[in-house]
C-alpha cells in the first residue's frame, strides 16, 4: 500500500512541476528533450506552452519549432506544413511568419514535388514579403521550380 501511495505522489509531483513551468522553462526544456532525441517529450512541452501561454512572445517561435521538428526530426511533411500554416494564420506579423511561409513552399517544391502548391505559396510569400531576406531564395526557387539539379547551371558543380 505504501508503494502505491509513494508512486502516486511521485507522478503527481512530477506532472505538477511540468504544469507549473514558465513559458521560457517549457521552451528550454523542449529544446533539451529534442537534443536528447526525446521528440515526443519535446512536442508535448511545446504543445503545453502554446496551451498555457498562447499570447506569450515565445508562442510564434514555439509553433515554428513544432514545424521544424515535424520537418527535420520526424520527416512528417504534412504535419510540418500544418504547423507552419498555424504560424502564418495565428502569428501574422511575427518574424516566424515569413520563415514559415517559405518553408511551406519549400516542402511542396523540394520534398513533395507539388509544383502547383509550391508556386502558390512562393508567390504568396513574394506578395507579402517582397523585401525579406528570403525573397531572393524564393525567386530562385520559382525560376527553377520542377527542374532537376543538373538542369540548373549554377548548381551543376554540386553533382559533378
Q: What is the pLDDT of residues 57-112, one digit of tens each?
A: 999 999 999 999 999 999 999 999 999 999 999 999 999 999 999 999 999 999 99
Are 103 and 139 in the same domain? yes
Query: Maximum Cα–Cα distance for the chain, whole Å?
Result: 73
pLDDT above 70 covers what percent of the chain?
81
Same domain, residue pair 82 and 49: no
27 and 89 fall within a common domain: no
144 pLDDT above the threshold of 50 = yes
Q: Alpha-carbon distance 30 to 15, whole Å?
A: 15
Does residue 28 sit in the same domain as residue 87?
no
153 and 118 in a single domain? The answer is: yes
87 and 118, same structural domain?
yes
Name the grid cell of 22.
Answer: 514558465
Q: Is residue 20 part of a domain?
A: yes
pLDDT of residue 15: 46
The C-alpha angle 34, 38, 44, rounded to 5 degrees, equals: 85
Contact 142, 130 (CB under 8 A): no
Statement: residue 127 has pLDDT above 80: yes
14 or 42, which is more confident: 42
What number is the average pLDDT over the span 29-54? 97
d(CA 44, CA 111): 26
In whole angstroms, what is the distance from residue 74 CA to residue 137 CA? 25
Total domains in the chain come to 2
- Residue 62 belongs to some domain of the structure: no
Same domain? For 47 and 99 the reply is: no
pTM: 0.82
140 shares a domain with 89? yes
Q: Are 56 and 27 in contact (CB under 8 A)?
A: no
Structural domain range at position 89: 78-160
Tell me: do 95 and 142 sit in the same domain: yes
Domain annotation covers residue 61? no
Q: Provide the mean pLDDT of the chain.
A: 89
Residues 98 and 158 in one domain: yes
Write the CB contacts of 29 (distance below 8 Å, at least 6 apart in sequence): 21, 45
Residue 90, pLDDT score? 96
Amino acid at each position: 500500500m505504501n508503494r502505491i501511495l509513494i508512486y502516486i505522489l511521485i507522478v503527481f509531483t512530477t506532472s505538477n512541476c511540468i504544469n507549473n513551468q514558465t513559458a521560457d522553462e517549457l521552451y528550454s526544456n523542449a529544446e533539451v528533450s529534442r537534443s536528447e532525441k526525446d521528440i515526443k517529450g519535446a512536442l508535448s512541452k511545446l504543445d503545453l506552452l502554446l496551451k498555457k501561454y498562447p499570447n506569450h512572445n515565445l508562442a510564434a517561435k514555439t509553433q515554428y519549432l513544432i514545424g521544424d521538428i515535424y520537418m527535420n526530426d520526424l520527416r512528417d511533411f504534412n504535419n510540418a506544413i500544418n504547423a507552419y500554416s498555424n504560424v502564418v494564420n495565428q502569428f501574422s506579423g511575427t518574424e516566424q511568419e515569413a520563415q514559415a511561409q517559405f518553408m511551406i513552399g519549400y516542402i511542396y517544391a523540394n520534398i513533395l514535388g507539388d509544383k502547383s502548391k509550391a508556386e502558390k505559396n512562393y508567390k504568396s510569400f513574394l506578395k507579402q514579403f517582397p523585401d525579406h531576406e528570403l525573397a531572393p531564395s524564393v525567386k530562385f526557387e520559382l525560376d527553377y521550380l520542377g527542374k532537376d539539379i543538373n538542369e540548373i547551371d549554377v548548381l551543376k558543380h554540386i553533382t559533378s
